[in-house]
Chains A and B, each alone.
Chain A
Amino acid sequence: MNDLENLYRQVIMDHYKNPRNKGLKGFPHVHIKNPSCGDDITVEAEIINKQVKQVRHQGSGCSICCSSASVLSELMLNKSVDEARALVSKYYAMIKGEALDHPEALEEAIVYQGVAKFPARIKCATIAWKAFEQILNGETDE
């Protein structure tokens, strides 16, 4: 199986077909749109005492974009804001093809390391993460 098929098989089979934590509940959110491809996603997070209690997402786009939002929503559960930030940075580094210390911290998100081989898709794989990162930084919409 080649890299692409491998990536797609793992990602699509699960999170694209059965997204977790989909649907918004009214927590602080960030909406990001990629006009060049039509990826359009809103991520929201409930953060209490600097701890991520819930991440929700809603939107439309390609399988890499949508599934990575679902993976993100599970990974970040119960992480402190600082831990969450570190995971986001680690994820970006992985997508860029950089060598990582303790990649296992990314749990399921590790399947997206295959995206490094398809630079045209980096935007797809990071859009939900960028939205979440903005929430962590307090840069929410409205």
Chain B
Amino acid sequence: MKIDAHIRDLFPIYQQQPHLVYLDSAATSLKPQPVLAKMQEYYEQYGVNIHRGVYHLSYLATEEYEKARRTVAKFINASEEEIVFTKNATAGLNMVALTYGETNLQRGDKVIVSELEHHSSLLPWMKLCERKQAQLVYVPLNNDGQITVENFLSVFDNQVKVVALTYVSNVMGYITPLPEIIRFAHAKQAVVVVDAAQAVPHLAVDVKALDADFLAFSAHKMLGPTGIGVLYGKAKLLKKLAPLAYGGDMNESVSHHMVEVKPIPYRFEAGTPAIAEALGLAKACEVITDIAYDRIREHDRALHAYALSQLNKISGLTVYNPKADIGIITFNINGVHPHDAATFFDQKQIALRAGHHCAQLVSKWLHCEGTLRASFYLYNTKKDVDLFVETVKQTVAFFENILGKQHE
């Protein structure tokens, strides 16, 4: 499937909101028709519970749910048993801290994180370290705000038991050099937990090639529905973990004082899961595969480069991440609070993010109260960029007019 003028026909929201300029895909992506249709199909045709009924419809629903798991497994080159359906990336990352971390981390051990982490990749480890009296260590960022292998090695030693890093920064748009970092981490038996929420929409993620131990992502940032995510874990690691939640469906047999839990991944999915959402996620994987990551990247690169070149011509603007690897532009209009600016964009139906993007340490690193963030995805067009750039110009001019020229 090509990314051309017709790509928007896939996204029904544009029929409702024909003038929408959606530049907040790093927060959540728009949803294509096939994903919505798949979820509708479940509710209309076989919308019953899974793994329980011995009747035909339940069999059908179970088949579809497990087929979805296979699709997702193939999508990231894992095996089925390594795919745990969760609520979102946050739930997956918390689960790793609360199961693997809880059992394996001891007083004096170290966990490596970075200031680029989304709060969901930081706080579960911060709280765990607090409880365990372990040490939370930050990889120093380089001058551009990137995680480098060299800087990683400067804080990496034998005490490090867990390395929890983002694959792609949700504010700066940098790709972390994970393959090398993971090789070094494994050489000293540290386990690597990858937050791939921003990566999966843009990069083909191959967990085997990457050799990640755990990797989590959300469906909703990659054309899928909200309410479902994936935790990948290497089978040998998952098998050692006790469930975080107990309840229906995750057990094999229950007696008065004993429960025998199911094999992986089922033991981690207590209760009725988000069935329609799992099917929607699998469909999203198929849509992305149909379009192909190469095309998504190429489209993203072209829009990103064009936007940066246009923004470059405007004075009174600070772009914090001109070297971003993916289409995320984090910027401020000099002297103007991001929320003041965002309302001007809102008036033009340009949706972009303002604030600290659930990554307050990045704002601190940038020494600002918050930023504006425009993020692109496959449905954005050159016209979107033009409207965006034009509004940036108008907003700069407006505030210059009333506040006076701002110095950088």
Contact = CB atoms under 8 A, between A and B. Distances in A.
Interface of A: 2, 4-5, 8-9, 12-13, 17, 36-39, 60-64, 118, 120-121, 124
B402 A8 contact: yes
Given A61-B337, A62-B339, 7 more contacts: A4-B344, A8-B402, A36-B355, A37-B370, A38-B369, A118-B346, A121-B339
A120 B347 CA distance: 11
Contacts of B356: 38
A102 B203 CA distance: 59
Main secondary structure of the interface of B (DSSP, over half): helix
A106 B71 CA distance: 61
A124 B402 contact: no
A124 B339 CA distance: 9
A38 B355 contact: yes
A63 B346 contact: no
Interface in B326-380: 337-340, 343-344, 346-347, 354-356, 363, 369-370
A121 B343 contact: yes
A37 B347 contact: no
Contacts of A64: 339-340
Interface residues of B, number: 17
Contacts of B209: none
A36 to B, nearest CB: 6
B403 interface: yes
B398 interface: yes
B355 A37 contact: yes
A63 B347 contact: no
Interface of B: 337-340, 343-344, 346-347, 354-356, 363, 369-370, 398, 402-403
A113 to B, nearest CB: 15
* Residue among B338, B339, B370, B403 with most chain A CB within 10 A: B339
B340 A8 contact: yes
B343 A120 contact: yes
Contact of A62 (B337, B398, B402): B337
B403 A12 contact: yes
A61 to B, nearest CB: 7
Contacts of A124: 339
A103 to B, nearest CB: 23
Contacts of B398: 5, 8
Contacts of B344: 4
A118 B344 CA distance: 10
The 3 A-B pairs at the shortest CB distance, nearest first, are namely: A62-B337, A62-B339, A38-B369
B354 A37 contact: yes
A124 B354 CA distance: 13
B334 to A, nearest CB: 14
Contacts of A17: 403
Contacts of B339: 37, 39, 61-62, 64, 121, 124
A39 B343 CA distance: 15
A47 B193 CA distance: 54
11 contacts: A2-B347, A4-B343, A12-B402, A38-B363, A38-B369, A38-B370, A60-B369, A61-B369, A62-B339, A64-B339, A118-B346
